[in-house]
Structure 1
Amino acid sequence: MAENEVPQGQQQQPQVKMNILTQFTRDLSFENILSQKGVQGEVQPDVSVQVNLDAKKRSTENQFEVVLKLQVESKTKDSDSKLFLLELEYAGIFHIEGVPEEQMHPFLLIECPRMLFPFVRRIVSDVTRDGGFPPLNLENIDFVQLYRNEITRRQQAQQQTNGQSADA
């Protein structure tokens, strides 16, 4: 058997290629509620982070747009008063080849956001610092778990919809 031949029954896996063609801030909003209210004294913040992802195929072959949407809200621990609200939509245009069709959805919503996240973390840190707060350094996001949670949520919603239509 020649060196480049593949044994029968084994297909050679296509080489996965991914390039970030461009990335950009689609939307950014920061509201410093603390300074508007004029809260005095020591404040203990409680920060919550919500993450949403969106991916779609572009008209150009093998190109996809992935958007990481982040909402960061900081409240005081004692009185639940809002300190700041940050909303960010950060997008990347990716050229992807060699990913099987059945694996494209998880690839777009796991691997692509992993590539964008360091830039999102930096923007959040800079904006919170420039907005008058200590820089907020986001912890790593487990995009695999986020994807699994969303699939489970969709399955449960589908089961509830099917259960309601069966009752009618």
Structure 2
Amino acid sequence: MADEGSTGAPQQPQQPQGQAQQPTMRILGQFIRDMSFENILVQKGITGDVQPEIKVEVALDAKKRQTENQYEVLTKYKVTSTNKESGAELFILELEYSGLFHVENVPEDQLHPFLMIECPRQLFPFVRRIVSDVTRDGGFPPVNLDTVDFVALYRQELARRQQAQAAKAN
């Protein structure tokens, strides 16, 4: 039996006074911002024994959107395949993949690492699938990207920026 005056809406659990709310993240949307695939092997007619070597470069960016608590996180991947013996390029895949996120209850000092680590981590399975499909459809064995350590990537970028600032100060 419902209490008198109840609206029938589910009630949110009460947070004890002084206790912070848990961070929340929702993916509002995701999309390919830009993509390019060059099949150099076919264009140049490379023949003979081909032993591919794959190189993957990752870059990240995030920006606040006009709507409160919404952010766009951009992941950029450059996947290059070269022939081990000759060093000739076989293919180049460049992919910019974005996600729109609604993020709440993340302290301001932790927002940047959250956007640059947790958000790309949520997008990565979709990027992996796109890279696999495009390389397969391009006539190569599908490239299954290794999991990216976004924490290490974030730390490397912080160290690089600190070194650049130190060099600039000297």
TM-score normalised per structure 2: 0.90
Instruction: Tell me, in whole angstroms, the C-alpha distance in 2 between the residues paired with 1:85 and 1:4.
Output: 51
| Secondary structure of 1:30 counterpart | strand
1:128 is matched with which residue?
135
- The aligned amino acid for 1:44 is Q
In the alignment, structure 1 segments of 5+ residues that lack a partner are 164-168
Q: 1:5: how far off? A: 4.4
Q: 1:144 aligns with which of 143, 146, 151?
A: 151
In structure 1, distance between residues paired with 2:97 and 2:15? 42
Q: How far off its partner does 1:4 sit?
A: 6.4
1:90-138 CA distances to partner (integer Å, 9 max, x unpaired)?
Answer: 0000000000000000000000000000000000000000000000000
Query: Mapping of 1:86-125 within 5 angstroms?
Result: 86-125=93-132
For residues 53 and 24 of structure 1, the distance between their equivalents in structure 2, rounded to whole angstroms, comes to: 15
Deviation at 1:13, TM superposition (A): 2.1
Q: Report the TM-score when normalising by structure 1.
A: 0.91
Aligned to 2:5: none
Matched, 1:24 2:31: yes
Q: What is the rounded CA distance, in whole Å, between the counterparts of 1:71 and 1:22 in structure 2?
A: 22
Give structure 2 stretches of 5+ with no counterpart: 1-13
1:63 to 66, 70, 73: 70
Aligned residues: 157
2:33 is aligned with 1:39: no
In 1, Cα distance between the equivalents of 2:62 and 2:21? 22
* Residue aligning to 1:166: none
Sequence identity, in percent? 64
Q: Cα RMSD (Å) of the superposition?
A: 1.2
**Separation (CA, whole Å) in 2 of partners of 1:4 and 1:65:** 29
Q: How many Å separate the matches in 1 of 2:46 and 2:66?
A: 50
Equivalence map 1:72-91=2 (5 Å): 72-91=79-98
